[in-house]
Amino acid sequence: MKNLDLFEKKLGLSFKNKDLLIQAFVHRSYLNENPEFNLDQNERLEFLGDAVLELVVTEFLYKEYPEKAEGELTNWRAALVNAKMLTSVAEELGFNDFLLLSRGETKELGKARQYILANTFEALVGAMYLDSGYQICDTFLKNYLLKKLPQIITSGSYKDAKSHFQEQAQDKDGITPVYKITKEWGPDHKKKFTVGVYLNQNLVTEGEGYSKQEAEEQAAKKALEIKKWNN
């Protein structure tokens, strides 16, 4: 068992229920090889943490930027809570040292690992919420995630393909794109998704990814090229 005391000290956390902290790092694949392990995997915590994360970020943006319109705040929020950003912060905070993975997943360092890290970040937020409530999540996210916002604004990285495609579709066609999962396959711990992007129920194109979010982004990139809306 990996000792998470160091992790807590580094991040200024103090869990009352240590099992919640450990569970946040338990990937489904670990239980396949360790069925006797006394805790569940982290997907339910991830589900909760995703909602808490979105609320904290939304509240922060609403209060800190009263002059900004909903559309811009939505783009900023998307840039803060997307898998790429959560993976980056999780790596900075040393999550890799504490993940509980199968032997096979331990060797996997590509896209699949990135999404495990992003999901674990959400699971940790969920565990923090259950253990200590909303305020501790708010403080944690302001310290480690929300401080990335000025860099996002300056670089313009919040203008992702999905946001760009929506702006173009609304401007040129008066239509808001709709994304639908058309296929999912693979084991539960390493699912892949195909997502179609539609304008007025007409399929423009599809994208693939290890998460619905990644597949949507890939579909939007391809749609921009097909419609020649890149500029």
Higher pLDDT, 205 or 10: 205
Token pair of 87, please?
């993976």
CA angle (42 as vertex; 38, 47 as ends), nearest 5 = 140
| Residue 133: per-residue pLDDT | 97
| Cβ(193)–Cβ(181) below 8 Å | yes
Predicted local distance difference test score (pLDDT) of residue 231 = 60
> What is the Cα–Cα distance from 55 to 50, expressed in whole angstroms?
9
Question: Which pTM value belongs to this model?
Answer: 0.74
DSSP the chain: ----HHHHHHHT---SSHHHHHHTTB-HHHHHH-TT-SS--SHHHHHHHHHHHHHHHHHHHHHH-TTS-HHHHHHHHHHHHSHHHHHHHHHHTTGGGT-B--HHHHH--SHHHHHHHHHHHHHHHHHHHHHH-HHHHHHHHHHHTGGGHHHHHHHTTT--HHHHHHHHHHHHTS---EEEEEEEES-GGG-EEEEEEEETTEEEEEEEESSHHHHHHHHHHHHHHHHT---
- Report how far residue 199's alpha carbon sits from residue 212's, in angstroms, rounded to the nearest whole number: 18
73 contacts 65 by C-beta, under 8 angstroms:
yes
Q: Which residues are catalytic?
A: 50, 122
| pLDDT, tens digit (0-9, with 9 covering 90-100), for 207-221 | 999 888 889 989 999
**Dihedrals phi, psi of 26, to nearest 5 degrees:** -90, 110
pLDDT grade for 166, boundaries at 50, 70 and 90: confident
Instruction: For the chain, give the percent of residues with pLDDT over 70.
Output: 98
Give the per-residue pLDDT at 108: 74
Phi, psi of 24 (to 5 degrees): -60, -25
Residue 41 pLDDT > 90, yes or no? yes
pLDDT recorded at residue 46: 96
Mean local confidence (pLDDT), 114-143:
96
Whether 195 shows a pLDDT value over 60: the answer reads yes
Could you report the per-residue pLDDT of 67-117, keeping only the tens digit for each?
Answer: 998 878 988 998 899 888 999 999 999 999 999 998 888 777 777 788 899
pLDDT at 157 over 80: no
Domains in the chain (CATH in brackets) are 5-155 (1.10.1520.10), 161-227 (3.30.160.20)
